[in-house]
């Protein structure tokens, strides 16, 4: 049945069949991979055996490292972008992805999944076709409000589509849509149990000083990193900064660190990437500066955290749609890659000095939080599996 726009099953968690076999297709970015991992973890807590999960990803993408590291069996296909790249790239990538339909059929025949759950990635079209040909129910989750090209292709083959927000009604068939919210990982949401002082202590930072948290995703955002480094000396006069640069520009961040005085370094915590302490970084912050990837639709609201968002110029429209959604609801302000170098310092300083404005934005962000999203996502998947067996 439906409750508050989300699928709810008239079953207890204990009634989950331990024989359910789940095929997951999620890759490319953390915004798609981490929600799928959160859903799998919730299903495991309700009785799913991890041996009954198969994850299909694309060679060379971040799932190739992340998924085996958490003990889930991963199969890889070859492929890449076919939209937004030159014919020299798109034509061979299209050929590889077409060839991968056969690989998908073989994997599905061998694994015999009861349901396929996908969030996106280059593998989505060929594996969706393979599942559709084999009669496997397909459930799609839209981390971003607007689906990307690969997911748009698979929408007609899906039985149900879950979404982070009702904003996705503009892009998918409403009769298929279930709004679940963004499934924030348990280890991140667990940081809500910390006091702010306890979270700051994990970074050896001071409770009485306002804290800015800056990040641009796992690979990093060069433009954000460079804009921040240019204004760090001014920011660090009054504030403290937790900075996740991503791996791509980490050498530049390390080199820039040498130019800071000992006093400035006392208020600055740079990292290439944070794993277990990501939740603590959110909990520590008074304001976050980030790209407008899907995770910001879930993680910033979970912590009631105001944000300054810089949508990635080349990420189709989807990051702009995400940023607009949060900004229109009073939870965020926006900058662009073209304006960030001039506007980052005055916008950030202006917000950090305006406690009333920060409080209003934080309240607006918290109103968008859906703490039951992970449980509802598990229900969504189980419902499709049960329909497939009926």
Span 139-156, pLDDT tens digits: 999 999 999 888 898 999
pLDDT of 245 above 90: yes
Residues 233 and 89 in one domain: no
For residues 47 and 16, the answer to whether their CB atoms sit within 8 Å is: yes
| pLDDT at residue number 283 | 98
Non-local (6+) Cβ contacts of 292 within 8 A are 309, 310, 311, 312, 319, 320, 322, 323, 326, 334
Residues 64 and 6 in one domain: yes
Buried b (16+ CB within 10 A) or exposed e, 229-242: beebeebbeebbbb
**What is the average per-residue pLDDT within 1-20?**
49
Residues 162 and 230 in one domain: no
Domain count, the chain: 2
| pLDDT at residue number 8 | 44
pLDDT of 99 above 90: no
| β 6-7/2-3 pair status | antiparallel
Residues 170 and 311 in one domain: no
- Identify the CA nearest to 246 among candidates 221, 220, 227, 267: 220
Non-local (6+) Cβ contacts of 272 within 8 A are 220, 244, 245, 246, 247, 250, 253
| Top-confidence residue, 363 or 85 | 363
Residues 66 and 176 in one domain: yes
| Top-confidence residue, 120 or 178 | 178
* pLDDT-wise least confident of 162-176, 263-277, 308-322: 308-322
> Residue 187 — very low, low, confident or very high, per pLDDT cuts 50/70/90?
very high
pLDDT of 1 above 50: no
Residues 200 and 136 in one domain: no
| pLDDT at residue number 7 | 44
Residues 222 and 336 in one domain: yes
Residue 333, Cβ density class (10 Å: 0-12 exposed, 13-18 middle, ≥19 buried): buried
Q: Which residue has the tokens 């918290």?
A: 366
pLDDT, tens digit, 9 for 90 and up, residues 274-311: 878 999 999 999 999 999 999 999 999 999 999 999 99
Q: What angle do CA 377, 379, 385 make, to 5 degrees?
A: 110
The Cα 278–Cα 288 span in angstroms is: 12
Residues 242 and 176 in one domain: no
The Cα 286–Cα 267 span in angstroms is: 15
Q: Return phi, psi of residue 292, to 5°.
A: -110, 45
pLDDT of 12 above 50: no
**What is the average per-residue pLDDT within 25-44?**
90
- For 12, 36, 215, 308, 339, the CA distances from 313, given in Å and listed in that order, are 45, 26, 16, 15, 12
* pLDDT-wise least confident of 188-202, 242-256, 308-322: 308-322
| Top-confidence residue, 248 or 13 | 248
The Cα 206–Cα 221 span in angstroms is: 27
| pLDDT at residue number 181 | 95
| pLDDT at residue number 59 | 81
Cite the DSSP H helix spans in 87-242.
Answer: 87-111, 124-133, 149-154, 186-189, 196-201, 222-235
| pLDDT at residue number 10 | 47
For residues 114 and 21, the answer to whether their CB atoms sit within 8 Å is: yes
Residues 51 and 200 in one domain: no
**What is the average per-residue pLDDT within 74-95?**
64
| pLDDT at residue number 11 | 45
Residues 103 and 21 in one domain: yes
- Identify the CA nearest to 371 among candidates 158, 193, 202: 193
Buried b (16+ CB within 10 A) or exposed e, 107-128: bbeebebbbbbbbbbbbbbbbb
pLDDT of 127 above 80: yes
Kindly report the CATH number assigned to the domain that includes residue 224.
3.40.50.2000
> Residue 252 — very low, low, confident or very high, per pLDDT cuts 50/70/90?
very high
> Residue 198 — very low, low, confident or very high, per pLDDT cuts 50/70/90?
very high
What range defines the domain where residue 121 resides?
A: 2-182+371-389
What pTM did the predictor assign?
0.88
Residues 114 and 58 in one domain: yes
| Top-confidence residue, 356 or 124 | 356
CA 259 remoteness from chain centre:
33
pLDDT of 9 above 70: no
> What percent of the chain stands above pLDDT 70?
87
Residues 205 and 293 in one domain: yes
Mean pLDDT score of the chain, rounded to an integer?
88
* pLDDT-wise least confident of 65-74, 91-100, 253-262, 361-370: 91-100
pLDDT of 77 above 90: no
């Amino acid at each position: 049945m439906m409750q508050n726009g989300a699928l709810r099953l008239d079953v207890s968690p204990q009634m989950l069949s331990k024989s359910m076999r789940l095929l997951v297709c999620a890759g490319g970015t953390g915004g798609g991979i981490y929600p799928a991992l959160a859903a799998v973890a919730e299903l495991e807590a309700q009785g799913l055996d991890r041996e009954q999960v198969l994850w299909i990803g694309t060679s060379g993408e971040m799932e190739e490292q992340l998924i085996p590291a958490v003990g889930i069996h991963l199969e890889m296909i070859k492929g890449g972008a076919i939209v937004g790249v030159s014919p020299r790239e798109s034509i061979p990538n299209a050929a590889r992805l077409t060839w991968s339909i056969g690989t998908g059929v073989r994997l599905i025949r061998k694994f015999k999944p009861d349901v396929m759950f996908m969030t996106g990635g280059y593998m989505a079209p060929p594996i969706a076709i393979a599942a559709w040909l084999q009669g496997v129910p397909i459930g799609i989750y839209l981390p971003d409000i607007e689906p990307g090209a690969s997911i748009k292709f698979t929408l007609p083959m899906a039985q149900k589509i879950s979404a982070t927000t009702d904003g996705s009604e503009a892009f998918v068939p409403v009769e298929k849509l279930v709004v679940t919210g963004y499934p924030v990982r348990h280890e991140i949401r667990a940081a809500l149990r910390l006091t702010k002082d306890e979270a700051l202590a994990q970074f050896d930072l001071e409770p009485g000083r306002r804290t800015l948290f800056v990040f641009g995703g796992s690979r990093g955002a060069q433009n954000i990193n460079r804009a921040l480094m240019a204004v760090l000396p001014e920011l660090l006069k009054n504030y403290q900064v937790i900075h996740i640069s991503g791996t791509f520009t980490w050498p530049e961040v390390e080199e820039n660190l040498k130019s800071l005085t000992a006093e400035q370094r006392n208020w600055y915590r740079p990292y290439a990437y944070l794993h277990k302490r990501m939740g603590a970084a959110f909990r520590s912050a008074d304001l976050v500066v980030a790209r407008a990837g899907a995770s910001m639709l879930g993680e910033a609201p979970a912590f009631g955290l105001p944000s300054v968002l810089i949508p990635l110029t080349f990420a189709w429209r989807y990051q702009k749609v995400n940023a607009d959604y949060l900004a229109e609801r009073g939870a965020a302000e926006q900058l662009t890659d073209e304006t960030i170098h001039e506007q980052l310092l005055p916008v950030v300083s202006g917000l950090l000095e305006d406690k009333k404005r920060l409080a209003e934005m934080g309240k607006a962000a918290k109103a968008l939080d859906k703490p039951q999203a992970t449980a509802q996502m598990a229900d969504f998947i189980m419902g499709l599996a049960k329909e497939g067996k009926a």
